[in-house]
Structure 1
Amino acid sequence: MRTDANTIAQGSRLHADLCIVGAGAAGISLALALGRSGLDIILLESGTEHHDPATQALYEGTVADERLHSAPDTYRVRRFGGSTTLWGGRCMPMDPIDFERRDYIPDSGWPFDAVALLPYYKRANRLCEAGEFAYTAERAFPHGMKPMIGGFESPEFSSDQLERFSCPTDFGRRYRRRLEEGSVRVLVNANFYGFERGEQPGKVGAAMVRTLKSVSFSVQARAYVIAAGGLETPRLLLSTPGESGRGLGNMHDVVGRYYMCHLAGTIGTVDLSTAPSVWHGYQVSDDGVYCRRRLALTPQAQRLYGVGNFIARLHHPRIPDAGHGIGILSLLYLARPAIPYEYAKRLYEDTSQPGSRLAHLSNVITGIPGTAAFLWHWLRYRTLAERKFPSIIVTPRNLRFSLDFHAEQVPNRASRVTLGSDTDALGMRKIRVDWRYTLEDVRTVSIALERLAVALQNSGLGRFEYDPQLIETEMTRYGAYGGHHIGTARMGTDPRHSVVDTDCRLHEADNVFLAGASVFPTSSQANPTLTIVALALRLADHLHGQLSPEPIVASGGMSARQGND
């Protein structure tokens, strides 16, 4: 059932077994998993199915360094479906090494290993509509997959790992009906803004809810899950005083700290003109999913050199440089005002180069046949397709590519999200983001690029040339990577250094749980959505065991379930 919170009577108190805050990937996955459990569930969502500027403005805040981090209301969507209404669909699990305690990465280590998450990853893959849980070329393509670089072998880099792509699936649109068919009551326009004081130590009271039309009510539940994203979750915790007065779960000043994204950039030139074959595009698996190889730094190499996880992809030449001579890239550059911010940010560099627009226009005109073919492919397989072609793939005629990299950021206590002094339309303090990177982060990228250059040189198949002095500039050119907001309410066994326990329960409140990338202790190289969904499904199993109604003996010896108040 779906209800507009503005229609609820002022001052009402609703009752449920479970109250979930946030209808994004985590909240919807959790609700779906418990939808037929017999539990009475209320799912609170600030927005509706449609974009609303006033609701989106509730995500506004400030950043310490605008060069390093985008405004907090970008890369996040405050509506039903959350940021799955925006994402590109890239799916991959974390690697086993990502869960390990690594002596060379301070504050690393999850309280369980990769095996514990494996069954949930398989279910998450289905929810994300990414097909079979098969992330190597051998498993996903038993009849063979095109090699990335023909004949390339290295003890330090593998090209057998895959990334798989969702449709991309908008969880709100795809799963709204399934939610409504279960026992979930979805309340839209419902903004959670804190908890009442609990009557028992170690427990919070009812969730307080307010709409932008000044309707206020509360939800009394046996348990609560905050699934509001890596930036909003610490905001909500810090906005509730908790027993310490410093924020719920923040007795040891951990909430909002260890904020990680990913280190990403484009650098150098990979010359593969002497390789027997090159394939950097997508191949469709037997189950109809777009898959792509990437170059991955092996776990053995990570341990040997003491660096974080790292992957790289062959990439087209940098778009703003009209010297690439490729019509479609120049067309994208010229059309950048019409491209959504989240995808166009990389097009905004070097816009002041004299004559650049004229050079790009010349590329478009001379490349009309190729551009027309590309646009037809894009219209057919991207714009009109339900399962969309994932991204722009352009193969330079001279087989000289740039290198696109994506690396793990190490946990850093000084990188954090706090409350600012300004307030939003609901009277809540806005966030202030102070994202920082470290010398360890620069070292991960530096060592990985150096070893990749050596691996290609030793293979005799190509060369990777780049300026080592530009590494830090390139890995911070676009700042913190997109919507990957990780680690701000980390999981662990020690309350002095973590916010939630192994079951994602707050150390300081027995009836409050967190879902989402905020609980990740480390960031891995992987995009976070698949792991977010897997963790939500794991949490669902735990909550089902904790909250499943115990039958009581009614008159006549019949079993009956005790109803809500």
Structure 2
Amino acid sequence: MDISDLRTIAAGAVVHAEVCIVGSGPVGHAVASELALAGISVVVIESGGREPDAWVDSLNEVENVGAPRVVDQRLVRNRGLGGSSRTWSGRLAAFDNADFERRPWVPGSGWPIARPEMARFLAAAATHLGGVVGDNLAPGHVDGILARSIRFDGGPLVDYLWSYSRHDSRSRDFRRFATVAEAPVMAGVRCLLNATVTQVEVTAQADTVIGLEVGGLDGRFRRVSSPVVVLCAGGIENARLLLASDRVVRGGLGNAHDQVGRHLMDHQRGPVARFREADIDAAQRTFGSFRRVLDGTPTVLTRGVAFSRNHQRDRGLLNAAAWLNGRVSPEDPIDALSRMGRMRGDSIRDAITLARGAPRLVQAAARFTLGRSPVRRMLGLDLECMVEVSPDPDSRITLSNRRDVLGVPISRVDWRVGEREARTLQAMAHTFMRESARLGLPVPQPTEEVDDGVVPASFLDVAHPTGATRMSSDPATGVVDTDCAVFGIRGLFVAGSSVFPSSGHANPTQTAVALAIRLARHIASDKSDNSSWRTPSDAVATASS
């Protein structure tokens, strides 16, 4: 990828591209790399640079008027090369069949495309993200890993396994797309850093996209001329850009039916039950991670549970999943061994910890030979739950009266959660307790707030904003069609979790990238089939020319 700074281009200049992509995170990178393989020239516009910058971070400010959300946006949204892969947790998971279906007990649920349509792209998405498991719900996957384990394979709960991204086979870090972008393997892709889109430009009839207005750190503006624009700016920014692009159409682009910004979802996540100290080791032995070599690559899989579709239907619940999450003790001998190996920490204290924890180290070695994670010494161990949030049209992003330093209105976020989410969290705690008791496993106790039937105030968003430019087969109920094209505007597309009609419980990145790959292949196919597709010059020209 050819990477440069917007400030190297004269103010008022015009950059031409066959396709322009807004955002260099995993989704934008997937679209760019697929189009590059098809021989299409691409310009990627990235608001930030190679390093964090306070001026750029200020552009992420939101006005929150709904449910509590993380205040410091730097923790959940990253402007910069690689986007939010700078801080993501690397979890990979696929949406299940129920997520794509219309569920009468979940108003607004149902996708206009079926899971088999998405399943075709999951393996490619996993590869793009540095994962090995293409579809963690594929028949036989869970059975093969949990063959000799006590199983949650009936009634209300089913076994679930998450996999993880890796930067490469030698790295322990998740894939960071800033590093990937720097690799000289994407011919035909140009990336402009410190370039913030302030307006999506369309024709006077507002039926065709013509390019973008882009502002820089110098406060001056340039233009990108392109017949195809793909917004990959994230679950909040995609909606904000469409709403703020109101110079031709009052109310913004794609918003003829007042759908842009509506149905904002995110996941709520937190502890719903807690294990007694005496049960912590036994719970870890059952649910600890599995280490396997899949397709020749060492892979870590986290074990958990999810609600079965029948249980969701019978109890009127949202989709949800749970796993163990604990606080490792400073006296854990495995951590002490790691510190000593890296020559960090207090060597004398760590040596004492190792001596006292020798039996645990022996046990850890035995579990390692079986492909299991060690049993750690913990300060506490929780049942962590992540719950789907209902697609509510009144949960939405609008524009504030306040503007950022480039003159764009900031997002006003009214995220709504309610009784159904609270009831689902409580149901997960009690269902897990009953099923654990039935199977003879350690039984945790519900946390006080969850047992009161309310969503704890500490359950904030987990950086998975979803649904504010939702996909639909009808422009009256959505923003993009099944090809992720904005209704009524030729050449304008949206990619990412903002097009999801529902959020499920799974981390969104793999599904978002699968959709991005599907979109890129649609754009490439459209170009090859359409001889009239405009192909502008790659040169940089002045605005007056």
Normalised TM-score (structure 1): 0.80
- Aligned amino acid, residue 281 of structure 1: S
Tell me what 1:55 maps to: 56
- Aligned amino acid, residue 298 of structure 1: S
Alignment of 1:420-459 (within 5 A): 420-459=400-439
Is the contact made by 1:257 and 1:417 (CA closer than 8 Å) also made in structure 2? yes
Is the contact made by 2:242 and 2:254 (CA closer than 8 Å) also made in structure 1? yes
Which string of whole-angstrom CA distances, capped at 9 and with x for unpartnered residues, describes residues 335-372 of structure 1? xxxxxxxxxxxxxxxxxxxxxxxxxxxxx999843899
Which string of whole-angstrom CA distances, capped at 9 and with x for unpartnered residues, describes residues 407-426 of structure 1? 11111122222211222221
The answer to whether structure 1 residue 315 and structure 2 residue 314 are counterparts is no
The DSSP-based 3-state class of the residue aligned with 1:450 is: helix
- Aligned amino acid, residue 107 of structure 2: P
Which string of whole-angstrom CA distances, capped at 9 and with x for unpartnered residues, describes residues 431-468 of structure 1? 22222202111122222322222212222333232256
Of the three residues 503, 517, 521, the one matched with 2:483 is 503
Deviation larger for 181-190 or 537-546: 181-190
Cα drift, residue 257 of structure 1: 1.6
Cα distance in 2 between the residues matched to 1:499 and 1:371: 60
Is the contact made by 2:24 and 2:46 (CA closer than 8 Å) also made in structure 1? yes
Identity %: 29
Cα distance in 1 between the residues matched to 2:37 and 2:145: 41
Tell me what 1:293 maps to: 303
- Aligned amino acid, residue 95 of structure 2: M
The answer to whether structure 1 residue 206 and structure 2 residue 211 are counterparts is yes
CA shift in 2, pair 1:460/1:501, >3 Å:
same
Tell me what 1:359 maps to: none
Cα distance in 1 between the residues matched to 2:374 and 2:220: 49
Deviation larger for 58-67 or 402-411: 58-67
Cα distance in 1 between the residues matched to 2:356 and 2:216: 48
Cα drift, residue 326 of structure 1: 6.0
Tell me what 2:76 maps to: 75
CA shift in 2, pair 1:366/1:502, >3 Å:
same
Tell me what 1:105 maps to: 106
Tell me what 2:3 maps to: 2
The DSSP-based 3-state class of the residue aligned with 1:410 is: coil
Tell me what 2:537 maps to: 564
Tell me what 1:230 maps to: 235
CA shift in 2, pair 1:550/1:489, >3 Å:
closer
Which string of whole-angstrom CA distances, capped at 9 and with x for unpartnered residues, describes residues 215-257 of structure 1? 3211111111111001111111111116640111122222112
Cα distance in 1 between the residues matched to 2:445 and 2:355: 28
Alignment of 1:482-501 (within 5 A): 482-501=462-481
Cα drift, residue 32 of structure 1: 0.4
The answer to whether structure 1 residue 250 and structure 2 residue 255 are counterparts is yes
Is the contact made by 1:261 and 1:480 (CA closer than 8 Å) also made in structure 2? no
Cα distance in 1 between the residues matched to 2:191 and 2:123: 26
Of the three residues 284, 288, 299, the one matched with 1:280 is 288
Tell me what 1:88 maps to: 89
CA shift in 2, pair 1:275/1:13, >3 Å:
closer
CA shift in 2, pair 1:541/1:496, >3 Å:
same
Cα drift, residue 499 of structure 1: 0.8
CA shift in 2, pair 1:152/1:490, >3 Å:
closer
Is the contact made by 1:328 and 1:371 (CA closer than 8 Å) also made in structure 2? no
Cα distance in 2 between the residues matched to 1:515 and 1:42: 16
Which string of whole-angstrom CA distances, capped at 9 and with x for unpartnered residues, describes residues 378-435 of structure 1? xxxxxxxxxxxxxx9864589x842111111111122222211222221111122222
Cα distance in 1 between the residues matched to 2:128 and 2:122: 10
Deviation larger for 103-112 or 189-198: 189-198
Cα drift, residue 61 of structure 1: 2.3
Cα drift, residue 87 of structure 1: 0.7
Cα distance in 1 between the residues matched to 2:478 and 2:60: 25
The DSSP-based 3-state class of the residue aligned with 1:483 is: coil
Tell me what 2:340 maps to: none
Which string of whole-angstrom CA distances, capped at 9 and with x for unpartnered residues, describes residues 539-565 of structure 1? 00111112237669xxxxxxxx97638
Cα distance in 2 between the residues matched to 1:241 and 1:131: 43
Cα distance in 2 between the residues matched to 1:542 and 1:365: 57
Cα distance in 2 between the residues matched to 1:262 and 1:58: 23
Cα drift, residue 314 of structure 1: 2.1
Cα distance in 1 between the residues matched to 2:469 and 2:452: 27
Cα distance in 2 between the residues matched to 1:141 and 1:498: 35
The answer to whether structure 1 residue 187 and structure 2 residue 184 are counterparts is no
The DSSP-based 3-state class of the residue aligned with 1:419 is: strand
Cα drift, residue 97 of structure 1: 1.0
The answer to whether structure 1 residue 269 and structure 2 residue 274 are counterparts is yes
Is the contact made by 1:212 and 1:425 (CA closer than 8 Å) also made in structure 2? no
| Aligned residue pair count | 499
Tell me what 1:412 maps to: 392
The DSSP-based 3-state class of the residue aligned with 2:224 is: strand
Of the three residues 428, 443, 448, the one matched with 1:463 is 443
Cα drift, residue 64 of structure 1: 1.8
Cα distance in 1 between the residues matched to 2:34 and 2:382: 42
Is the contact made by 1:153 and 1:459 (CA closer than 8 Å) also made in structure 2? no
CA shift in 2, pair 1:486/1:38, >3 Å:
same
CA shift in 2, pair 1:512/1:469, >3 Å:
same
Alignment of 1:150-189 (within 5 A): 150=150, 154-159=154-159, 161-167=160-166, 168-178=174-184, 181-189=186-194
Is the contact made by 1:316 and 1:394 (CA closer than 8 Å) also made in structure 2? no
Cα distance in 2 between the residues matched to 1:200 and 1:13: 22
Tell me what 1:353 maps to: none
Cα drift, residue 108 of structure 1: 0.6
Cα drift, residue 508 of structure 1: 3.1
The DSSP-based 3-state class of the residue aligned with 1:476 is: coil
Tell me what 2:313 maps to: 303
Cα distance in 1 between the residues matched to 2:246 and 2:322: 43
Deviation larger for 284-293 or 31-40: 284-293
The answer to whether structure 1 residue 219 and structure 2 residue 224 are counterparts is yes
Cα distance in 1 between the residues matched to 2:282 and 2:50: 51
Is the contact made by 2:385 and 2:428 (CA closer than 8 Å) also made in structure 1? no
Is the contact made by 2:398 and 2:411 (CA closer than 8 Å) also made in structure 1? yes
Cα distance in 2 between the residues matched to 1:66 and 1:327: 38
The DSSP-based 3-state class of the residue aligned with 1:121 is: helix
The DSSP-based 3-state class of the residue aligned with 2:444 is: strand
Deviation larger for 263-272 or 520-529: 263-272
Q: Which runs of 5+ in 2 are unaligned?
A: 167-173, 337-348, 362-372, 539-545
